[in-house]
Amino acid sequence: MNILGSLQQLGRAFMLPMIVLPAAAIFSSLSQLPWDYIGLPQLTLYLQAASHAIFTYLPYLFAVGIALGMTGNALAAALSALGGMFIYVGITQTAVPEIEPTVFIGTLMGIISGFSYERFKNLRLPEYIQFFGGPRFVPLFVSFISVLFSIFMIGLTPYIERMLEELGNIVASGGGFGVFLYGFVHRILVVFGLHHLVSHVFWFQIGGYTMADGATVYGDLPRFFAGDPTAGVFMAGMYPTMMFALPAIALAIIHEAREDLKPKIRKTFMYAALASFLTGVTEPVEFAFLFVAPYLFVVHALLSGVIMWVTYELGIRHGFSFSGGAIDFIVNEHLATRGWLLIPIGIVVGLIYYFLFRWAIDRFQIPTPGREEGSHLDEWAGDIPQRAPLILQAIGGKDNIVKMESCITRLRLKVANEKQLDIAALRNLGAAGVIRLGGGNVQVVFGTYSELIRGEILNTIQRDQEQVLFSSPMQGKMIALSEVPDPIFSGKLVGDGVAFIPDKGELVSPVKGEVIHIYPTMHAIGIRTPEGLEVLLHIGIDTSLLGGKGYFKAAVKEGDKVLPGDLLIRFNLQQVRKESKSLATPMVITNSDLVRSWRFAPYKTVKKGQSSVMSVVLKEIQVGGERP
């Protein structure tokens, strides 16, 4: 079993039950409004009760949420976890004194249910009792495990409670350095998507607080919302980083971009900065420099820890239900201690980050987005349905996907063969980064659109339409067909498609098919795909006049079978550039009447053989008809 792969799945599962926490924070904040002035005095009590209910039943939410997250939303696992919690509460309430369910117990029950589902979902029993086989066996199995687990916990719980309280005291004794260490480790684990694991311990386990009604809550987050004045240590310091530091980095990237690319980069990173400031979603900015300057990310992680240390020493206590953005800051300010200090601290932090990153980008010539033509971040939310099939191809197709899930900012995959991943194509299609965790476990960072992308990929797979996927036939830049300086191609009189400006003298096959025609001058070639599409590749404009000069050399002959990436033609790039009207190389489908819809990747730099530059969906075959 791959450890990092299992941990990333568990980390994602932790996020699912936390989605409901912002509602609790909002209800708590709204309850502070003077509702009695508008004749609704009871609304204060209702809102407080709603907020309190969410935290009361948080163990059940974690049990169900983690079970769903670990199994790809398997209802049998969720039902097992919920049933297990009912059994646990029923048995432990017979103890003296009664034992209250905690998030820790909900987490364990969710993990037990998730692993049980994965272990027994395909279980086969003798035919006469097969009704209880497969997924139906899981609730039964978990119920028996829950009984044993509950009895065991009656004896163990008092020791665990004392251990958690002691752990909280130990962490507290570490003072500012302990908070710094947490902030540093948390930031580093963001890279692997495992930060939820360490956060879960500090936010929901460490430290206890007894409320007025005698109930005890554990963890920095529940204690903060329960009114514990000492809580918020492990959350307050994240506000300056998320509200000010990350937007400052985005601003530095914008100002260091090339003048011709600044308008596009400004739009992209202003959205990313706004997302970080308002909601605390930081990955779109962090992944813009993580892969090109990992040492700078380590500096960022160290500074994040220092910021948390400073807020601790100043006695600032603040919390959040989702993340350290402005929305949570405002909603939860009424519960904070000296929370207003986070604003001037944040302004200073923002200035430090802005000048530090501008200096580093310029001094070390870091290729952040906008400093080179091939910058991979792009603003493309409205284009998700168009790109989903291309992303699917870059992943290796539906047969390469073993499991596909998503969290707030990432597509989390388990693939059959990592070698089928086209990293360059994924970045070209909008991925901020691709992280390999081993064992086929891969994370593709698409920002907050990850869930939408997953949905569109699933729709693409379910539609099961007949598609033809095209790879790049050369290294260079992909351009729209309308930009080709020839009215025959730009007017789509020959057919529809795309074009390329090569920076290397090689043309390779973009599809699987058969070579059906090679022009005598060898400047153009035709390929027929198994689906009947006829693809014309034409190197340069007015290059038919260059025949007899030896500038083009075919590596195949008519009738040859070719695969994507197979060499077709070598050509003298410098001479063709010098003696032709343009190097623009159209790739068009000459029998475009067979195509129902087209999808194109962004028009930017591509590599030879890079997958996912164009995809077409074919028209359905008419009854009695036949495709040519």
Let me know whether 405 and 480 are in one domain. Answer: no
Q: Which of 371, 400, 417 is the last residue of a domain?
A: 371
pLDDT of residue 287: 76
587 pLDDT higher than 60: yes
User: What is the DSSP secondary-structure string of 227-244?
Assistant: T-TT--HHHHTHHHIIII
Dist CA 451 CA 458 (whole Å): 11
Helix (H), strand (E), coil (C) string for 478-542 = EEEHHHCCCHHHHCCCCCEEEEEEECCCEEECCCCEEEEEECCCCCEEEEECCCCCEEEEECCEC
Instruction: Give the number of domains in the chain.
Output: 4
Residue 293 lies in a domain: yes
pLDDT of residue 622: 40
Let me know whether 215 and 242 are in one domain. Answer: no
Dist CA 286 CA 299 (whole Å): 12
What is the CATH number for 567? 2.70.70.10
Let me know whether 417 and 485 are in one domain. Answer: no
How large is the average pLDDT for residues 52-57?
85
Q: Which of 371, 401, 436 is the last residue of a domain?
A: 371
Let me know whether 1 and 135 are in one domain. Answer: yes
Q: What is the pLDDT of residues 274-295, one digit of tens each?
A: 888 988 878 778 877 877 778 8
Q: What is the pTM of this model?
A: 0.63
pLDDT of residue 568: 95
pLDDT of residue 6: 61
Dist CA 165 CA 146 (whole Å): 25
User: What is the DSSP secondary-structure string of 297-355?
Assistant: HHHHHHHHHHHHHHHHHTT-B---SS-SSHHHHHHTGGG-BSGGGHHHHHHHHHHHHHH
**Mode of pairing for the β-strands spanning 410-415 and 441-445:** antiparallel
How large is the average pLDDT for residues 506-521?
93
Residue 3 lies in a domain: yes
Let me know whether 480 and 433 are in one domain. Answer: no
Pick the most confident of 193-202, 206-215, 236-245: 236-245
How large is the average pLDDT for residues 290-301?
84
Expressed as residue numbers, the domain containing 584 is: 469-618
Say which residue the tokens 């369910």 belong to: 101
Q: Is position 433 annotated as part of the catalytic site?
A: no
Let me know whether 25 and 111 are in one domain. Answer: yes
Catalytic residue among 407, 481, 484, 535: 407
Residue 196 lies in a domain: no
Q: Which of 234-238, 252-256, 336-340, 451-455 has the weakest average pLDDT? A: 451-455
How large is the average pLDDT for residues 327-337?
91
Q: Which of 320, 344, 371 is the last residue of a domain?
A: 371
The residue ranking higher by pLDDT, 604 or 241, is: 241
419 pLDDT higher than 70: yes
Q: Is 217 helix (H, G, I), strand (E, B) or coil?
A: strand
Let me know whether 447 and 503 are in one domain. Answer: no
CB 453 within 8 A of CB 431: no
Q: Which of 176-185, 333-342, 384-393, 512-521 has the weakest average pLDDT? A: 384-393
Give the mean pLDDT of the chain.
Answer: 84
396 pLDDT higher than 90: no
Residue 628 lies in a domain: no
Which tokens belong to 160?
A: 């665990």
337 pLDDT higher than 90: yes
How large is the average pLDDT for residues 96-122?
85
548 pLDDT higher than 80: no
Q: What is the pLDDT of residues 12-51, one digit of tens each?
A: 666 677 778 788 878 887 887 888 888 888 888 898 888 8
Residue 491 lies in a domain: yes
Let me know whether 26 and 148 are in one domain. Answer: yes
pLDDT of residue 463: 67
377 pLDDT higher than 60: no
Cβ-based neighbours of 455, under 8 Å, separated by 6 or more: none
pLDDT of residue 378: 47
The residue ranking higher by pLDDT, 144 or 70, is: 144
Whether the bond into 369 is cis, omega within 30 of 0: no
Let me know whether 318 and 409 are in one domain. Answer: no
Q: Which of 219, 213, 130, 216 is nearest to 168 (CA)?
A: 219
Q: What is the pLDDT of residues 462-504, one digit of tens each?
A: 666 667 889 999 999 999 999 999 999 999 999 999 999 999 9
180 pLDDT higher than 80: yes
How large is the average pLDDT for residues 227-252?
93
Q: Which of 161-175, 317-331, 348-362 has the weakest average pLDDT? A: 161-175
Let me know whether 454 and 481 are in one domain. Answer: no
Q: Which of 164, 198, 170 is nearest to 184 (CA)?
A: 198
Residue 328 lies in a domain: yes
- Classify the phi-psi angles of 415: left when phi > 0, otherwise alpha if psi is within -120 to 50, otherwise beta: beta
Residue 5 lies in a domain: yes
Phi, psi of 442 (to 5 degrees): -135, 145
Residue 195 lies in a domain: no
**Mode of pairing for the β-strands spanning 208-210 and 513-518:** unpaired
How large is the average pLDDT for residues 92-107?
80
